[in-house]
Amino acid sequence: MSLTTSLSNPQPLLEVRDLRVEFDTYGGVVKAVRGMNFAVAPGKTLAVVGESGCGKSVTVQSLMGLIPQPPGRITSGSVKFQGREILGLPPKEANKVRGKEIGMIFQDPMTSLNPTMTVGKQIVETLKYHENITPEEGRRRAIELLEQVQIPEPAARVDAYPFQFSGGMRQRVMIAMAIACNPKLLIADEPTTALDVTVQSQILNLMKKLQRERGMSIILITHDLGVVAQMADDVAVMYAGQVVEYGSVDSIFFHSSHPYTLGLRSAMPGHEEGPKNEPKRKLKPIEGAPPDLFHPPAGCGYAARCPYAMKACESKMPALWELEPGHASRCWLHHEAASRHAPAELYRGKTISNQATPQA
């Protein structure tokens, strides 16, 4: 059973199947994405969460056709947007999708804007490429967009250069550029990186407001579980180039079913207060390091760091088990032959899976 068909809207806006991406380097071939499967429902937010280097940004850049080839290459997979295959489109066709149908907010607003052009001209550049507008109409639209993203005095700031804006204001300009052509899908690659906490909250609230007004779907790339809790409807937890758990935001936070997801939650600062004079819960870091993707492990990528690993985990890739409608996990602990030495929640729903798997 496919993750995208079993867990997604019957008619998803975006559907990704078995996406695999590699990079040629002097040290060998890096298998950065190893079979990604997910779907994004219309008007919903999917958060893709995981530690640095797990393949989050490479995945969304592949969807947009932004992987430099060479050294990168997409070795297999399907990406359907509104039912149309967009992976491998000719450059001219791909450019019609990028910016107009799918917008993207890049990770670093400090370097993503052209320092030699006013922000207004950079917004108009996107509009002119996809729409037949006059310079006057483009300027008017740019001012409207700056107003929508809550830039003060937009009529005056439209002629300002990026260096005249703070980090938070630059991120708002990036959002204005991304939504200029009213895309149906907005990809936000760690949009709050390098911003202070107050500005982060403002940016996230702005994205939610624009989503409600425009009916956009959002793919949010982040490693911050606090952002996930605030923004997401569904969550894909990534590790070593794969989705290891997928489900609604409530399933991921309250019914975690993969040891890596539990590890992320344990490493997250909590706000709960214990009894008086009792020490607060200590953070539990995940020991060890991610696997070498020059030579990915034959079994589970998390096995070397997992406190509940079994022999099967080291040699056999676990299937993606459907625990309940809308919630799946890639872990051998869901197999009926698994030993009972892990927390009980990791066995939840294991008998529901109808996938054929090797013996544990």
pLDDT band at 194 (very low <50, low <70, confident <90, very high): low
Q: Are residues 222 and 289 in the same domain?
A: yes
Q: Are residues 120 and 255 in the same domain?
A: no
Q: Is the pLDDT of residue 5 over 50?
A: no
Q: Is the pLDDT of residue 237 over 70?
A: yes
Of these ranges, 138-142, 178-182, 352-356, the one predicted with the greatest mean pLDDT is: 138-142
Of the candidates 180, 205, 221, which is a domain's last residue?
180
Q: Are residues 243 and 187 in the same domain?
A: yes
21-30, 78-87, 267-276: which has the minimum mean pLDDT? 267-276
236 inside domain: yes
Per residue in 111-152, pLDDT tens? 788 889 999 999 998 888 888 888 888 899 999 899 888 888
Q: Is the pLDDT of residue 273 over 70?
A: no
Average pLDDT, rounded, for the chain: 82
Q: Are residues 85 and 67 in the same domain?
A: yes
* CATH number of the domain within which 200 lies: 3.40.50.300
Q: Are residues 216 and 144 in the same domain?
A: no
Contacts of 297 (CB under 8 A, 6+ apart): 240, 291, 303, 304, 314
* Confidence (pLDDT) at 105: 86
210 inside domain: yes
Owning domain of residue 194: 15-101+183-270+283-308
* Confidence (pLDDT) at 277: 53
Q: Decide which of 335 and 94 is more confident.
A: 94
Q: Are residues 194 and 169 in the same domain?
A: no
If one counts the domains in the chain, the total is 2
Of these ranges, 83-97, 153-167, 323-337, the one predicted with the greatest mean pLDDT is: 153-167
Q: Are residues 265 and 189 in the same domain?
A: yes
Q: Are residues 91 and 123 in the same domain?
A: no
* Confidence (pLDDT) at 356: 35
Round to whole Å and give the CA distance between 88 and 111: 28
What percent of the chain has a predicted confidence (pLDDT) above 70? 87
Q: Is the pLDDT of residue 6 over 80?
A: no
248 inside domain: yes
Round to whole Å and give the CA distance between 307 and 221: 27
325 inside domain: no
350 inside domain: no
Q: Which residue has the tokens 């797990």?
A: 54
pLDDT band at 213 (very low <50, low <70, confident <90, very high): confident
Q: Is the pLDDT of residue 214 over 60?
A: yes
Contacts of 358 (CB under 8 A, 6+ apart): 312, 316
Q: Are residues 78 and 44 in the same domain?
A: yes
Q: Are residues 87 and 234 in the same domain?
A: yes
CB-count exposure of residue 52 (10 Å: 0-12, 13-18, 19+) = exposed
Residue 291: cis peptide before it, omega within 30 degrees of 0:
no
Q: Are residues 52 and 161 in the same domain?
A: no
* Confidence (pLDDT) at 227: 85
Q: Decide which of 68 and 10 is more confident.
A: 68
Q: Is the pLDDT of residue 270 over 70?
A: no
Q: Which residue has the tokens 């439209």?
A: 158
Q: Is the pLDDT of residue 318 over 90?
A: no
299 inside domain: yes
Q: Are residues 71 and 39 in the same domain?
A: yes
Round to whole Å and give the CA distance between 138 and 181: 11
123 inside domain: yes
Mean predicted confidence (pLDDT) in 243-259: 89
Strands (DSSP E) found in 213-326:
217-222, 234-239, 242-248, 321-324
Per residue in 285-298, pLDDT tens? 888 888 889 988 88
278 inside domain: no
Mean predicted confidence (pLDDT) in 241-254: 90
